[in-house]
């Protein structure tokens, strides 16, 4: 009988071993996907912002060089005709009042989507580590998620370097109440991440904190998607519109005195600025979609952790939301494809 029992015991352990292997495989697969997409997102957005800033510098330089009235200063104050019969006038303003038949605009040569989008992308990358940790706990309730939680806390803490973002004042014409709410919610998120980090090795405590206080993450993400979409349709487009229109007028004014090569170069900048004016809102919408996916992933995982699910249901929920966060990071990484 003892020999039979000894023979049966390893067979009884097989399902446990296989379950453990499946859990480890999911953990490695999920962590690998999130980390890879995070790195790609950070690298791609840096290239995207660099390309935009280079294009705008070149457009500004072309404008300044096109008219003796312009100086290489920022903001660049230009005047634009508002009536068909407006007489010829210098491109840049020398005084406070524009010429008759013209209106004045300012182009900030240093303006870039980086100031608005970079902190929001950094927040999505931080949330990806948080989501990775929640998915790991959901899939295997006793698993050690200290590495993911520590990474989340580090990323959240580094959001403080974006002082205007954390203060809620990084967007033009932002409502004071909305700015205050954004600031408070981001400060609360950073504090929550720090609290999780202090309990990082106690998975049960991490889970309890997430269920009890994880709604602070919802609040931090709630305003950002609509903000980015609105900004993309307005301020993000306006700068490239101004560049494109001013460059086009420069082309019209100087085309007879330019060589074929010079006309080609200037026309290329006109087309690039106008394409960017159309492309900017679409790129902002991608970031908004990524924020929505990140918000949905972490909220869904938190709800699952608070519920009573079977192992199969937990595994399915973990995979669904890892897919959501990797899609969010993929949207961010694809920004560079249009730069």
Per-residue pLDDT for the chain (339 aa), expressed as one digit of tens each?
Answer: 445 445 454 444 444 444 445 555 555 565 557 878 888 888 888 888 888 888 778 878 888 888 889 888 888 888 888 888 889 888 888 888 999 999 998 877 666 788 888 999 999 999 999 999 999 999 988 899 999 999 999 999 999 999 989 988 887 777 788 888 889 999 999 999 999 999 999 999 999 999 999 999 999 998 888 888 888 777 666 667 777 877 887 888 788 888 899 889 888 888 888 887 778 788 888 999 999 999 999 999 999 999 989 999 999 999 999 999 999 999 999 987 755
Q: What angle do CA 292, 294, 296 make, to 5 degrees?
A: 70
| Structure token digits, residue 163 | 């002082």
Place of tokens 């698993």: 143
Torsion-angle region of 86 (φ positive above 0: left; ψ -120 to 50: alpha; else: beta):
beta
As separate numbers, helices (DSSP H) first and strands (DSSP E) second, the chain gives 11, 2
Stated pTM of the model: 0.79
Q: List, in sequence order, the alpha helices (H) in 92-234.
A: 114-139, 146-158, 163-167, 176-198, 203-213, 215-222, 224-233
Burial class (CB in 10 A: 0-12, 13-18, 19+), 327: middle
Element (H, E) at 9: helix 2-66
| Structure token digits, residue 130 | 């948080």
Q: What angle do CA 251, 257, 262 make, to 5 degrees?
A: 60
| Structure token digits, residue 297 | 């992933």
């Amino acid at each position: 009988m003892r020999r039979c029992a000894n023979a049966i015991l390893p067979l009884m352990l097989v399902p446990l071993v296989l379950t453990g292997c499946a859990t480890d495989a999911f953990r490695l697969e999920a962590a690998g996907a999130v980390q890879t997409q995070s790195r790609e997102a950070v690298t791609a957005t840096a290239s995207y912002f660099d390309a935009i800033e280079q294009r705008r510098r070149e457009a500004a330089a072309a404008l300044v060089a096109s008219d003796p009235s312009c100086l290489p200063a920022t903001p660049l104050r230009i005047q634009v005709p508002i009536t068909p019969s407006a007489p010829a006038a210098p491109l840049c303003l020398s005084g406070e009042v524009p010429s008759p038949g013209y209106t004045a605009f300012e182009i900030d040569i240093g303006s870039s989507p980086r100031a608005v989008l970079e902190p929001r992308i950094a927040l999505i990358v931080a949330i990806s580590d948080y989501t990775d940790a929640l998915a790991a706990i959901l899939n295997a309730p006793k698993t050690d998620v200290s590495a993911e939680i520590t990474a989340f806390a580090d990323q959240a803490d580094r959001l403080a370097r974006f002082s205007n973002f954390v203060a809620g004042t990084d967007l033009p014409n932002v409502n004071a109440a909305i700015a205050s709410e954004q600031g408070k919610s981001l400060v609360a998120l950073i504090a929550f991440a720090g609290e999780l980090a202090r309990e990082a090795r106690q998975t049960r405590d991490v889970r309890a904190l997430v269920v009890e206080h994880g709604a602070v993450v919802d609040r931090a993400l709630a305003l950002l998607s609509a903000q980015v979409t609105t900004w993309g349709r307005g301020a993000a487009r306006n700068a490239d519109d101004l560049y494109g229109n001013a460059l086009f007028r420069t082309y019209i004014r100087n085309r007879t005195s330019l060589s074929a090569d010079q006309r080609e170069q200037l026309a290329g900048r006109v087309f690039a600025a106008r394409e960017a004016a159309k492309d900017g809102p679409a790129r902002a919408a991608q970031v908004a979609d990524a924020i929505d996916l990140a918000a949905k992933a972490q909220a869904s995982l938190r709800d699952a952790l608070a519920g009573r699910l079977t192992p199969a249901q937990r595994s399915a929920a973990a995979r669904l939301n890892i897919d959501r966060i990797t899609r969010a990071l993929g949207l961010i990484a694809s920004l560079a494809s249009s730069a």
